[in-house]
Amino acid sequence: MAEIVFAAGAPHAPGLIGLLEAAPNDVKDVVIHTYRTLAERIRAAKPDALIVFANDHLANSRVRAYPDFLIGMAEEHSGPHEWFKPWIGCDDYTVKGDRDLAEKLFHGLNRRGIRMFAQHENLYFDDNISVPVLLTDLNDGSIPMVPVLQNCTVPPFPDQYKSYEAGKALGDFIREDLPSDMRIALLGSGGLSHEPGGARYYFIDEEFDRWFLEASASGDHEKLLSELTIERMEKAGVGGTTELLAWIVVLGAIGPHRGESFGYVVHKDFKCGVGAVHWHLDQPVT
Amino acid sequence: MDLKDFDPSLATHDLIQDLKWNPPLRDEFAANEAAVLDRYPLREAERKALEARDFRSLYDLGLHPYLGGQLARLIYGNEAGKGATVAVNKLVESLTGGKAE
């Protein structure tokens, strides 16, 4: 039985790279510490591979033919896609892929009734993958990555219950289909509250963010799922906050566990609430 | 604003995706916008709104706001802290009828 050895959720706002230098020192310190902590903890877990679920942001498919889950099967993932480079303000990077794991994931989830799409070609990555990769140095070649780009914003998209079901299938796939000594890390990339492209572009819903971080760290998944409705997320920022559904996939995979919420910070120019949760896999909630 | 207004049949979605994915098309759009717009099956109101940089009308017609944000960057600038900030403020101005915060 393969094992999930690391699970976390963290935002990927582009400003965390391109606008970080101009941010106040206290904000900068929190952001750097948050992603350094995640980087250290991922490596301490000694995973064989990292699977990242992240909002696709309409980067890869037309709106009328939009997959709910798109797996990157490339041997190597390069990013960002050229148009996003100045917007993120980052350098080019390459991350080792894991084609075998990606293929198994594709088959394993489809067999479990979760419709997956997959591409051998390099996917177009914007901030969704680029920001966590660069802030945790995943481009150092130490951990292969399989990206799964999720439809978090093109209606109708999988809601909190469907995302959790996808996560349960993911957990079952990891435990039942992968080699018994394999160690898998999971990251939900996205959130917190934000409204990209909306009239409230600069709005950050601190009350929602703090509630979500605490609720997702509590391990009470039934309560979290009943309260984290699409309507509630949209109230906290239309078209952006729902990318927290990528965190819900991770929660479905690990099942109820307590987590540690850390690094919450509000900085208007980021246009997005920032904070992470690392779930303690040795602290199940029964 | 909410996603209930989203109309995926709006051709502006394809225009924005193509501009993102195709650098020569971006150059052509900058040099001769009308020639690029001519190639898309835009509704009359949609084309007028595009030409007027009227994001409010585009959203009312059904443009997805995430792509609206990208359209603003394609028009006003895409660099962090520079053109991209101008794009956000121009977009918010159009959507609210006033100045951005």
pLDDT-derived band at A248 (thresholds 50, 70, 90) equals: very high
pLDDT-derived band at B2 (thresholds 50, 70, 90) equals: confident
Residues on chain A touching B18 (C-beta within 8 angstroms): none
| A272 part of contact set with chain B, CB < 8 Å | no
Determine the Cα–Cα distance for residues B25 and A259; give it in Å rounded to an integer: 47
pLDDT tens, A150-201? 999 999 999 999 999 999 999 999 999 999 999 999 999 999 999 999 999 9
B69 within domain boundaries: yes
Residues 6+ apart with CB under 8 A from B38: none
Say if the Cβ atoms of A201 and B2 lie within 8 Å. no
What's the whole-number mean pLDDT along residues A53-60? 98
What's the whole-number mean pLDDT along residues A242-268? 98
Whole-number Cα distances in Å, A169 to A25, A113, A177, A283, B84: 42, 8, 11, 21, 39
Residue B63 has pLDDT above 80, yes or no: yes
Interface-testing mutation among B26, B57, B70, with chain A (most A C-beta atoms within 10 A): B70
Residues on chain B touching A231 (C-beta within 8 angstroms): none
Determine the Cα–Cα distance for residues A143 and A49; give it in Å rounded to an integer: 6
Whole-number Cα distances in Å, B51 to A66, A179, B33: 28, 57, 9
Determine the Cα–Cα distance for residues A130 and A132; give it in Å rounded to an integer: 6
Predicted local distance difference test score (pLDDT) of residue A70: 98
Interface of A with B in 184-213 (CB under 8 A): 195-199, 201-202
Q: What CATH number is associated with residue B43?
A: 1.10.700.10
pLDDT tens, A208-240? 999 999 999 999 999 999 999 999 999 999 999
B101 within domain boundaries: no
Which residues of B touch chain A, with CB atoms under 8 Å apart?
1-4, 6, 8-9, 13-14, 17, 20-21, 23, 26, 64-70, 72-73, 78-81, 84, 88, 91-92, 95-96, 100-101
CATH numbers and ranges of domains, chain A: 3-284 (3.40.830.10)
Nearest CA in chain A to B22: A83
Determine the Cα–Cα distance for residues B11 and A144; give it in Å rounded to an integer: 38
B64 within domain boundaries: yes
Residues on chain B touching A201 (C-beta within 8 angstroms): 69, 88, 91-92, 100
Q: Is A251 helix (H, G, I), strand (E, B) or coil?
A: helix
How much of chain A exceeds pLDDT 90, in percent? Answer: 99
Residue A60 has pLDDT above 80, yes or no: yes
Say if the Cβ atoms of A86 and B80 lie within 8 Å. yes
Predicted local distance difference test score (pLDDT) of residue B99: 58
Tokens in use for B34?
A: 């009308």
Predicted local distance difference test score (pLDDT) of residue A1: 87
Predicted local distance difference test score (pLDDT) of residue A170: 98
A229 vs A286: which has the higher pLDDT: A229
Q: What are phi and psi of A175, to 5 degrees?
A: -75, -35
Whole-number Cα distances in Å, B60 to A277, B2, B4, B91: 37, 10, 10, 14
pLDDT tens, A64-110? 999 999 999 999 999 999 999 999 999 999 999 999 999 999 999 99
A106-109 — which CB contacts under 8 Å span 24+ positions?
A: A106/A71, A106/A73, A108/A169, A108/A173, A108/A177, A109/A69, A109/A166, A109/A169, A109/A170, A109/A173
Predicted local distance difference test score (pLDDT) of residue B98: 77
B27 within domain boundaries: yes
B60 within domain boundaries: yes
Please state the domain count of chain B.
Answer: 1
Mean of per-residue pLDDT scores for chain B: 95
Predicted local distance difference test score (pLDDT) of residue A249: 99
Mean of per-residue pLDDT scores for chain A: 98
Residue among B13, B20, B81 minimizing CB distance to A83: B20
Burial of B77: CB neighbours in 10 Å, binned 0-12, 13-18, 19+: middle
Predicted local distance difference test score (pLDDT) of residue A135: 98
For residue B55, give its domain range.
3-96
Residue B85 has pLDDT above 60, yes or no: yes
Q: Is A277 helix (H, G, I), strand (E, B) or coil?
A: strand
pLDDT-derived band at A143 (thresholds 50, 70, 90) equals: very high
| A157 part of contact set with chain B, CB < 8 Å | no
What's the whole-number mean pLDDT along residues B32-48? 98
| A57 part of contact set with chain B, CB < 8 Å | yes
Whole-number Cα distances in Å, B9 to A265, B14, B42, B57: 39, 9, 10, 16
Say if the Cβ atoms of A154 and B64 lie within 8 Å. yes
Letter for the amino acid at A38? L
User: In angstroms, what separates the C-alpha of A219 from chain B's closest C-alpha?
Assistant: 30
Got the DSSP string for A152-203? SSSSS---HHHHHHHHHHHHHHHHHHS-TT-EEEEEEE--SS--TTSTTTT-
Burial of B96: CB neighbours in 10 Å, binned 0-12, 13-18, 19+: middle
Got the DSSP string for A32-101? HHHHHHHHHHHHHT--SEEEEEEE-TTSSS-TTS--SEEEE--SEEEE--GGGHHHHT---EEEE--HHH
Interface-testing mutation among B3, B4, B61, with chain A (most A C-beta atoms within 10 A): B3
pLDDT-derived band at B74 (thresholds 50, 70, 90) equals: very high
| A228 part of contact set with chain B, CB < 8 Å | no
How far is Cα of residue A201 from the mean position of the Cα atoms in its chain? 21
Predicted local distance difference test score (pLDDT) of residue B1: 66
